[in-house]
Structure 1
Amino acid sequence: MSDEVDFTEYVTQELPGGTVEERSNGVRPAQPLITQSSTLSSIPEDGVIEPLIERTIAPNSYRAPLDAKSRYSRSSSVSGEIQLENCDLCSADAMTGFYCMYTNDEMLFWPPRDVCESDEELYRKILNRDVIGNKDFMIHEIQHVCRMNFPYRMGVICETLEEHGISLSSDQVTGQMSETPLHVALIYNSTEVASVLMKFGKTELIIRRYQTSQCEGTTALHKAITKRNLELLEEMLSYLEPDEKNAFLHQQAKGEYFRGKVSQAGLPLTLAAVVGDTAIFDELIQQGSQVDAVDDATGNNIIHSLVHFSLHQPDESLKMLQHIFQSTLVQQWWLKRRGMSGMRLTCSEYRHLKICLLKLTNYDGFTPLALSTYLRSPEVCQFLMNVDDVYKFPQWRIGPTSVNYYDIAEIDSSMSNYTKPTVMDLFIYSSDTDHLEFCKIPLIKELMERKWQAYRKLFSAFFFFHLAVMITLTVNCEMKISFKSIIPTSNTTEKVVMRQLVQPQAESWPYLNPIDIMILVLSSLYLVVDVFHSFRLIWTFYRRWFHLVRHRKWASFKMFIASPAIWQMDIFRVMLFGFSVSYVTSIALRILGHHSAEIAMAASLIFGWVFLLCFTRALKSIGVFAVMLQRMLLGDLIHFLIVFGVIIIAFTSAFRILFFKIHDNFIVPDQVTDLPMTIFNFLRLTIGLEEMDIFEQAAHPVMVKVIFMSFVLLANILLLNMLIAAMSDTYAEVTHQKYDLWLKIRTKSICLIEQHLPTFMRPSFGVIHRKREDDQGEIVDLWLLPVEEYAGQKTTARDFR
C-alpha cells in the first residue's frame, strides 16, 4: 500500500529535538508516530485489530470503558480508514486529569494494540526516542495503555522507566489531578495492566493517594472497591507489610468529589458496605479493617453511612445491615477486639457488639436510629427498632401472637428528659406533611395511641377549662363596655339617677375586678410555664452547643441548628403564648392608665379564641380542617401576599401620580388623598367592596383607565385564581394523607402538653423501667414499652412507598 508508514524507517530518522536531554530541556520533539486519522501498516488482511482502541468523542470529554464487542475495522467506503463498530460508551469514573481526555487528533505512538515479542524492541526504541523525557507524551502514552488494558505494552513501559530511573509513583508520571497509572488502570478496570503496575511499582505506587482537593485521600483501594474487583484488591494488599496494610485499610478519602458520590463513605470498609459487595466487605475484615471505625469529619460509623445510602437504595442498605449483624467475620472481629480470640460468641457479647455499632452518636448527636428519622428513611428506622437485645427484647410467643419489650429511650424524648434528639422529636416537630410514612411503623403507631389514651382526659380538661376562661373573659369585657354605653331615658329624674349610679362603674374601668385578677393569675401561670420550658430547651441547646464547639465541629453545629426538634415551634404553643403575653400587657397598661390597653385586650381575645381551634386537632373529622387552615394561611396565603404586595404598591403609586398636575391647583379625590388610603381602596376593590368612578377627575384620564384595567386583570383575575388553585392543591394533598396526618398532629398536641408538665405529673402509659450494662461496662436506663404483635401485621419496606 502506498500510504503505509514504515516504523523501522521512522525510528532511524533524525529528530529535530536531538537527544533525550535536549528534549527534556524544552526543545519540542518531532510529531508522534501516527494519529487516529493515519493508516497503519500493521493492520491484518482481515481488517481487524486485536485488542482495539475506542473511537474519538467530543473534545474535553472523558473516556468511556471499552465494550468487549467493539472493533476497529477498515471502512468500506474509504480505503485504509479505521472505524469503530458497536461502541458502548458507558460513563466512566471521571477521576483522571487532562491526559485522560480525548481530542479529535489524539496522538498515538503505536498502533492501537498490544505489543508482541517481535515488536518489543521496536516499541522500546520508540519510547526512548519520542516519549521518555517529555512529560506530556509520557503521561499520555501511559494512561492510554492503562485505559486500553495492554499488559505487555505496559511491561515494556515499566522496564523502560526503570532504566531511566523514573518511579511509577513519582510526579513525572502522574496526571493533572495527581492520579497515578494504577489509579487510571483501576478506573477503567484494566486488571492485567494493574497487576503489571503493582509488580513494578510495589508499595510506593499502591499507597500513593490523590492530592487534589476534589479527590484528596483517595487510594487505589477505594478504586478497586468501587469497581468490585476482589482479585486486584487481594493482590495489592499482598504487597504490603502489616503496618502499611493497617494504615492503608483505614485511609480516609476526604475529597469533595468522592464523598459526594458515595454518601460520605470515606473509609474503605464503609465504601464496601455502601457498594453492597459482601465478598469485598468480608475480605477487608479478614485483612484487618475495624468495623467500628468512624469518619474523622462527621463521626459517622458504618451504620450511619448505610443510613445515608438508604435514601438512594433502601433495599441494598437493608441487605448489607443484615449481613453485618449476621456475619461470622464481624463476630470474630469483635471477639478479637475484646481479647477473646478463639472463643465462642456468647449472647452477652453479641449484644455488646450490636450496642457498639448502634448506640454510637456522631458529631451531630445522632445515633443511627435518630439519623434514619432525620433523613426520612422509615425502612431502616423500622429495621433498627427490631434489632434484638438493643431496642427490641422478645418475651414470649404463642402461635402468631408475640409480646415484645421495646426500649423507647431513643424514641420518646420524655424518657430522656429532652437531652438528645429522638425519633418522636424529629418525627413530630417536622413539617406537618413530612415524615408521615413513619406513622405506618407499628411501634410508632402503638406509642402514639398509648400517649393519647394516657393524656386524653387531661387534654379534654384543659380544653373545657380554657373554654370557660374565654367565656368569662368575653362576658367580663362585654359588661364593661355595656356600662359605658348606657343611654339615659328622656325622663330627667331617671337621667340623673342613672348617671349617678353608672358613673362610678364607668370610672372603675382602669381598676381590676376579681375576674380580671383570676384571669391574670392564669395567664401569668401559662407564661411562666412556657418560659420555664423555653429556658430548659435553651439550656439543653447550650450544653450540646458547648460540646460541639469544644470539638470544633462547626458543620455539625449548623446541622444541629436546623434540627426541628430544637425549636419546637407550633401554632398550639404560639397562640397560647400570644394570649398570655397580650392579656398581661393589657392589665399592665390599664393600671398605668394607657389608652392602648384595649388594643392588647382585643389581641388577647383573638389569640385565646383561636387557641381553642388547636384542640380540634384531636378530632379526626375536624382536625384535618384545622391543619388545612394552618397550611393555607402560613403557606399559600403568605406567598400570595408577597407577590400581591409588590403588585399593589406598584400600581397604586402609579395610579395616584396620574391624579396630580404639578403647576395647577388640583383637587385630589378622597380615594387617593395619600398612598395608604389608595392601597386600602385598591384592596377593597380587589375583594369587590369598592367602586372606582373618579377616572375623569384625573390629570391623565386615559392612562388612569389603562393602569386600572391592568391592575384588575393582574390582581383580580390572575393572582386570585392562582391563590385558589394553590389552596386547592393544598386541600388535595392534605386530604390524600388525612389519616396519617391526623395521627401526627394529635400526637403533636399531646407531646406539647407533656413537655410543659413536671415529671411527677405525667401519667404513665405502661412503660417499665430497667437498668443494664452497656458495652463499656456502664449502667444505663432502659424504658421498656410492652407491645403485643401479630405475625400478620408485619410492615415491610414496600409499604412505605
Structure 2
Amino acid sequence: MDKSEMFGFSLEADDRTEEEKKKDGVTSKTSSWSPKVPMDTDYQEEIEKPKPKLRFNLGFDKGIQGEQPQQHRDDLIFNIDRLFEAVASRDVQKLDGLYDYLHRNMKKLSDSLYQSYGKTTLMKALLHLMDGKNETVEVLLNISERLGDIKKFVNAEFTSSYYKGQTALHIAIERRSVYYVKLLVSKGADVHARACGKFFQPHKGPNFYFGELPLSLAACTNQPDMVEYLMDNQYQKADAKMADSQGNTVLHALVMVAVNKSNKSKENTKFITDIYDQILGTTNRLHPKLKLEDIENHNGLTPLKLAAKIGKTEVFSHILRREFQESQNKHLSRKFTEWVYGPVHCYLYDLASVDSYENNSVLEILTYGSDIPNRHKMLETELLSRLLEEKWQRFAGRMFLFNFLAYLVYLIVFTAVAYNKKSRKPPFTIENNVVECLYVSGQLLITLANIYFFVIGIVDMCRKRPKIKTLLVDGYYEILFFFVQGFLFLVSAGLYLWGQQEYLSFLVVCLALSWVNILYYSRGYEHMGIYSVMIQKMILSDILRFLFVYIVFLFGFSAGMCRAVNSQTQMLCELSCKLDAISAENRRLLAAPESCWQEGIDLGEVTSLARQY
C-alpha cells in the first residue's frame, strides 16, 4: 500500500501540460453518478473526464524557474486513449516502452487517469478476446506487478451506476476464459466482488441478473469447470453461502435464471439442475455441516420456495424429486427409494419446507399466491398431488362437509328470519314470548355469521394480496362474494338500527347473494365442482364482456333518446303556446263577430290554422 493511502487519500503523478489539462476538461463533479454509457464499444467510445484528485506536477520546478516544460514526443506518451486502442487491437508492440514511461513518470495502471467510469485497460483487454486470447493481458499484469499495484489494478471496479461493481474477474468469467480466471485469481482477484449496478438487477429494459457474485455468474452461464475452480482453488475459495444485495445465494440465482416457456427450456433446465446438484455436492465435500438449501433470502424464501413463488416449474419439480445415488451425498436427496419390487416402487420424500405445518411453506405459497404463473401445474406434481389428496381424505373433506352443513343451517335461519320480518318501522320492540326469543336468536345468529364472513374476507385479502384480475378469478366465491355478502348485511343492520326503512333493500340483496354462494360448496364434489367452475368462468369471461358492451350501448342509446325527448318536449311546449294563443283569439272572435268583420279577419283562415295545429 502506498504511504499516501495510509492516510485516507491517494497521490498520483500528472505529467500533462496545461494545454492537455484544458483539453481533457477536468470536471468538478465528485459523485459516482455517470450517464448510461455502453460497457464497451468500438465506435467513438465515451471517455470519462478526469475528476479532481490529489496529483503532483512533475514539471512544477521548471514552471517556478520560468522554463517551459519539455514537450513529450508522441511516441513516448501513453494516455488512456492510446492504451485502450492498443489492448482493443490486441497488439503487444503498441505497449513497448509502457513500463519505462510509467516508472519514469511515477505512474501506475491503476491511476484514475487510466480509467473511464472505473473501466481499466485490463477490463478493456478482456472485453476484446479473440479465440479466448489477448496477449496484452499478460503484459499489463506483468507491468502492474512490477510497479507494485497489481492487487488494486486487478480488483478495480466499474463506477458507472449502470455497471457498478463489475471487475475484470466478472468479465473473464463472462468471456468463458478459464485461463484468465485462474490467472486473475492467482494475482489476487477478489472472488466475492459484487456487480450490483442497474444492468445486473432485474428490471424492465436490458439487464442480466446472475446474482452479482463471480460464482453465481459462472453457474448461471453454464460453466461447471469454472464453478469447480472458484469453489476449490489454492488462493481464495468462493463461499457458496455468500448472498447478493437481495439475499440470494448462487442456488437462488440459478432458480431465477431458469426458463419455462421456450424452445430451449429442456436444455436450460438440464444445465441449471446439473450445476445446482454440483454445487450441493461440492459444498458438502468442502463444508459438510453447511445446509446450503436452507439459507433464505431477504424475502424469507429458500431456493425451493423461490421456485414455487416465481413459477419455475421444471426446477421446482427437480428439487422436490432430487435423488443422489452417491453414498456421500445421499443425505442431500429429497426423494429416497425405500424398496422396489417389479413395477412397484416405494419412495420416501423430505417434506421440510413443503407441508403447511411450517410457516411460509410451499403449499402456503402456492395456495395464497394467486398471481403465481404455472401454479396449478406445480400443484399437479407427484408429491404435492399425493399430499393434497391425503389431506383431503384424512380431514379436509370432513371439514368442508361440516362447513357446508353449518352454512346450510345459516341459510335456513336467514331465510326464515327474513320471511317473518315485521312490517313496523325499525327498530322493532322485543316482546317477552317464545316466538320473539326465536326471532331475536335468529337475528343474532345471522349477524355473527356475516361478521365472520366479513372479517375472514379481509384476512384472506391481506394474506393473498390479490390484484383485481386474480380477485375475480381465484377469490370469486370465498373472498369476493362472501366479503360482499357480509358487507351488505352490516350496512343493512346499520340502517335498521338507525331507523331507516331502506335497510330492507340491502337485506334482500344479501339474502339472494347468500343463496348464490352455496355454489361454492359444490366444489368439494367431483361432478358439481366442474360445473361450478364452468359457471364462474362463463360469468367472468363471456357474460362480463357482454355486460360491458351492453352498458356502453345502453348509455349511448339513452343519451340519444334523452336528446330526442328533449327536442320533442320543446316542440310540444311551443305548440302548446301557439294553441293557447289561437284559443284566446277564437274566444275573442266568438264574443264579438261583428268587430272581426270590421277588422277584415277571415274566420275560415283562422279555423284552418287551428286545425293545422
Do they superpose with TM above 0.5? Answer: yes
Does residue 517 of the first structure (1) align with residue 465 of the second (2)?
Answer: no
Q: 2:88 aligns with which of 104, 126, 147?
A: 147
Aligned to 2:144: 201
Q: In structure 2, what is the Cα distance between the partners aligned to 1:387 and 1:166?
A: 55
Q: Which moved more, 1:311-320 or 1:249-258?
A: 311-320
1:583–1:650 Cα change, 3 Å:
closer
Shift of 1:435: 1.5
Moved more, 641-650 or 285-294: 641-650
Query: Corresponding residue for 1:294?
Result: 242
How far did residue 229 of structure 1 move? 0.6
Does the 8 Å CA contact 2:371/2:466 hold for their aligned counterparts?
A: no
Cα distance in 2 for residues equivalent to 1:432 and 1:627: 19
Structure 2 matches for 1:28-67, cutoff 5 A? none
Show the counterpart of 2:231: 285
State the alpha-carbon separation in 2 of the partners of residues 275 and 172 from structure 1.
33
1:438 to 365, 369, 378: 378
Matched, 1:224 2:172: yes
Equivalent residue for 2:280?
A: 325
Tell me if structure 1 keeps the 8 A contact 2:158–2:167. yes
Deviations 1:453-473 (A, max 9, x none): 122233234324433542453
The answer on 1:381 being equivalent to 2:336 is no
> What displacement does 1:520 show?
3.4
The residue aligned with 1:210 is 158
Secondary structure of residue in 2 paired with 1:398 = strand
Partner Cα separation in structure 2 for residue 616 and residue 598 of structure 1? 29
Give yes or no for contact 1:524–1:584 (8 Å, CA) kept in 2. Answer: no
Counterpart secondary structure, 2:346: strand
Q: Deviations over 1:732-764 (max 9, x none)?
A: xxxxxxxxxxxxxxxxxxxxxxxxxxxxxxxxx
Q: Distance in 1 between matches of 2:553 and 2:142?
A: 73
Aligned pairs, number: 486
Counterpart residue type for residue 390 of structure 2: R
Alignment match, 2:360: 420
Q: Is the 8 Å Cα contact of residues 262 and 274 (structure 1) preserved in structure 2?
A: no
Q: Which residue is 1:268 aligned to?
A: 214
Question: For each residue in 1:369-414, what CA deviation from the matched residue of structure 2 results, as whole angstroms up to 9, or x when unmatched?
Answer: 110001111222122223564673637213354434434352233x
1:560–1:303 distance in 2 versus 1, CA, 3 Å:
farther
Query: What's 1:719 paired with?
Result: none
**1:663, distance to aligned residue in structure 2 (A):** 13
> What letter corresponds to residue 606 of structure 1 in structure 2?
A
Q: 1:210-234: CA deviations, max 9, x gaps? A: 1110111110000011111111111
Distance 1:306 1:650, change over 3 A: same
1:551-596 C-alpha deviation (Å, 9 max, x unpaired): xxxxxxxx9999x99xx95522433344344445545644654302
CA-based RMSD of the aligned residues comes to 4.3
How many angstroms does 1:310 deviate by? Answer: 1.2
1:425 Cα deviation after fit = 2.8
Structure 1 residues 610 and 361: CA distance shift in structure 2, 3 A: same
How far residue 174 of structure 1 moved from its aligned partner, in angstroms, is: 2.2
Residue from 340, 347, 359 that aligns with 1:398: 340
Structure 1 residues 159 and 639: alpha-carbon distance in aligned structure 2, compared to 1, 3 A threshold: farther
Q: Deviations over 1:408-446 (max 9, x none)?
A: 352233x12xx4353443355424984222133100111
Summarize the alignment of residues 243-254 of structure 1 with structure 2, pairs less than 5 Å apart. 245=189, 248-254=190-196
**AA of the residue aligned to 1:315:** K
Shift of 1:632: 5.1
Residue 191 in structure 1 maps to residue 139 in structure 2: no
Q: Deviations over 1:228-268 (max 9, x none)?
A: 1111111122222xxxx5xx111111111134543242111
Residue 427 of structure 1 contacts residue 438 of structure 1 at CA under 8 Å; is this kept in 2? no
The one of 583, 605, 609 aligned to 2:515: 609
In 2, distance between residues paired with 1:258 and 1:522? Answer: 56
Find the aligned partners of 1:151 and 1:637 in 2 and give their Cα distance: 73
1:630-682 Cα deviation digits (max 9, x unpaired): 345456766776787677657755764566579967659xxxxxxxxxxxxxx
Match of 1:448 among 376, 388, 398: 388
Q: How does 1:80-91 map to 2 (within 5 A)?
A: none
Equivalent position of 1:365 in the other structure? 300
Q: Paired residue for 2:197, among 245, 255, 260?
A: 255
Distance, in Å, in 2 between the alignment partners of 1:599 and 1:447 is 46
Return closer, same or farther for 1:396/1:412 CA change in 2, 3 Å cut-off. Answer: closer
Quote the Cα distance in structure 1 between the aligned partners of 2:201 and 2:140. Answer: 27
Query: Are the aligned partners of 2:178 and 2:226 in contact in 1 as well (CA < 8 Å)?
Result: yes
Q: Which has the higher contact order (CA 8 A, sep 6+)?
A: 1
In structure 2, the partner of 1:527 is 451
Following superposition, the deviation at residue 602 of structure 1 comes to 1.1
State the secondary structure of the residue aligned to 1:443.
Answer: helix
Q: Once the 2 structures are TM-superposed, how far is the Cα of residue 280 of structure 1 from its aligned partner?
A: 1.1
| Secondary structure, aligned partner of 1:396 | strand
- Paired letter, 1:267: L
CA contact (8 A) 1:225 1:233 kept: yes
Q: Secondary structure at the match of 1:397?
A: strand
How is 1:602-641 mapped onto 2 (pairs within 5 angstroms)? 602-631=508-537, 633-634=539-540
Distance 1:423 1:391, change over 3 A: farther
Question: Over alpha carbons, which structure has the higher Rg?
Answer: 2
Q: Distance in 2 between matches of 1:570 and 1:619?
A: 18
Residues 199 and 133 (structure 1), Cα distance of their counterparts in 2 relative to 1, 3 Å cut: closer
Give the TM-score normalised by the residue count of structure 1.
0.53
1:480 & 1:395 partners in 2: Cα distance?
65
Of residues 297-306 and 631-640 in structure 1, the stretch that sits farther from structure 2 once superposed is: 631-640
Q: Secondary structure at the match of 1:191?
A: coil
Other-structure match for 1:236: 184
Question: Is the 2:305–2:365 Cα contact (8 Å) retained in structure 1?
Answer: no
SS at 2:301 equivalent:
coil
Q: Are 2:520 and 1:574 aligned? A: no
Distance 2:560 2:140 in 1: 76
1:361 CA displacement: 1.2
Q: 1:234 to 1:391 in 2, by over 3 A?
A: closer
Most deviating of 611-620 and 422-431 = 422-431
The separation in 1 between residues aligned to 2:135 and 2:372, in whole angstroms, is 56
CA distance 1:128–1:292, change in 2 (3 Å) = same
SS in 2 for 1:324: helix
More displaced, 308-317 or 218-227?
A: 308-317
* Counterpart Cα distance in 2 of 1:423 and 1:443: 11
Q: Deviations over 1:761-798 (max 9, x none)?
A: xxxxxxxxxxxxxxxxxxxxxxxxxxxxxxxxxxxxxx
- SS of match in other structure, 2:393: helix
Q: Report if the CA contact (8 A) 1:307-1:380 is conserved.
A: yes
Aligned to 2:118: 178
Q: Using the alignment, how far apart are the partners of 1:619 and 1:580 within structure 2?
A: 25
- Residues 535/595 of structure 1: CA separation in 2 closer, same or farther (3 Å cut): same
Tell me by how many angstroms 1:610 deviates: 1.6
Q: Distance in 1 between matches of 2:136 and 2:554?
A: 71
1:154: Cα distance to partner?
3.2
